[in-house]
Structure 1
Amino acid sequence: MSYDLKHRKWAITNKKCLAVIKNTIGPAIMGSIRERDTVTEYLDRIKSQFTGSSKTYVTQLIKQLVTERYSENGGIREHILRMGNLASKLKPMNLALKKEFLIYLIFASLPKEFNTFVVNYNIQLEK
C-alpha cells in the first residue's frame, strides 16, 4: 500500500516534470526527440541528441563574439554585458578567453565615437 502511494506520487511528479521540460523546448527541437516515459530518459535523449553539436555551438559563439558590433539599442553597458555573456559560455568548453583579450574584442566592436575612451583606457598605468 505504501509503495503504491509513493509510486503514484512519483508518477504524477514525473508527468509534471515532463510537461515543464516539453513546454520550455522549442518545437523544432522537440520534434527531433522521441517520447520517453521518464524525465531521466527524456533528458538523456536530449543530451545524446546534442552532444555532437558542441563544436558547431562553439563556432557560432566565436563568430558572434568576433562579429558583434555596438548598436545604440540598449547602450554600452548592455553591449559589454552581452559580449561578456558570450565569452562566459565558452568557459565550460575549456575555451575561456583571457580578460584582456575580451576587453580588446569589446574595443574592436565599438564605433569610432568611442576612440577617445579606448585611448584613455590604453594609456592607464597597469596595476
Structure 2
Amino acid sequence: MLLTMDLEIKRNLTHLGAYDMLKELKAMFSKQAEQELLQTVREFHTCKQEEGQSVSTHLLKMKGYIDNLERLGQPVGQNLVVSLILVSLNKDFDSFVQNYNMHGMGKTVNELHAMLKPHEDTLPKKDANPALHAIRA
C-alpha cells in the first residue's frame, strides 16, 4: 500500500500496520468524500442541457455524474436517473418527454439514449449565426 501513496502521506503512515493504516486513511479522506458527494449531487440535480448541445454530449455528462455517485458509494436507481435526465433536457424535447411519460416506457439510460438520438435528428436545425441567415435572405 505504501508504494502507491504520495510521499507526504507515506511518511505519516509508515509506522502503522495495514489495518490501522486503512483506518487512518479513511479518517483522512472521509470528509473530502462527503464534500465531493454533496457537490456531485448538486451538479447532477441542477444539470440542464445547454442550447445547441447535442443530446449525446449531455447524456455523457449525466452518466459521468451517475458513475461518480456510484464510485462514492451512492448508486442511484434507474428510474430516478431516467427521470432526472428527462427533466434536464431542453424545451426541444418536451414532446418526447411527454410521450415517454404517457407511455410509461421504463427504459434504461442506454435505451433512453438510443431513443433520444433519432428524435434529436428530427428536430429543426437552428442556425449558429442568425446574422448570416439574414444576409442570405
Counterpart Cα distance in 1 of 2:42 and 2:54 = 22
The runs of 5 or more residues in structure 2 that have no matched partner are 11-23, 107-137
Q: Look up the match of 1:71.
A: 50
Cα distance in 2 for partners of 1:124, 1:43 equals 57
TM-score by length of 1: 0.58
Asked whether 1:42 is paired with 2:6, we answer: yes
Query: Aligned-pair distance for 1:74?
Result: 4.0
Helix, strand or coil for the counterpart of 1:52? Answer: helix
Letter of the 1:40 counterpart? T
Shift of 1:59: 0.1
| 3-state SS of 1:123 partner | helix
SS at match of 1:121: helix
* Number of the residue aligned with 1:107: 86
Does structure 1 retain, via aligned residues, the 8 Å contact 2:51–2:90? no
Aligned residue in 2 for 1:22: none
Query: RMSD of the alignment, in Å?
Result: 2.7
Provide Cα deviations, 1:20-51, integer angstroms capped at 9, x if missing partner. xxxxxxxxxxxxxxxxxx74342782894534
TM-score after normalising by structure 2: 0.55
Q: Are the counterparts in 1 of residues 47 and 88 from structure 2 also a CA contact under 8 Å?
A: yes
Over 3 Å counting, the alpha-carbon distance change for 1:84 and 1:41 in structure 2 is: closer
Matching residue's letter, 1:107: L
**Contact 1:84–1:102 (CA<8 Å) still a contact in 2?**
no
Amino acid at match of 2:86: F
Equivalent residue, structure 1, for 2:100:
121
Higher relative contact order (CA 8 A, sep 6+): 2
Aligned residues: 90
- 1:72 match: secondary structure: coil
Match of 2:67 in 1: 88
Runs of 4+ in 1 over 6 A off after TM superposition: none
Paired letter, 2:4: T
Amino acid at match of 1:58: L
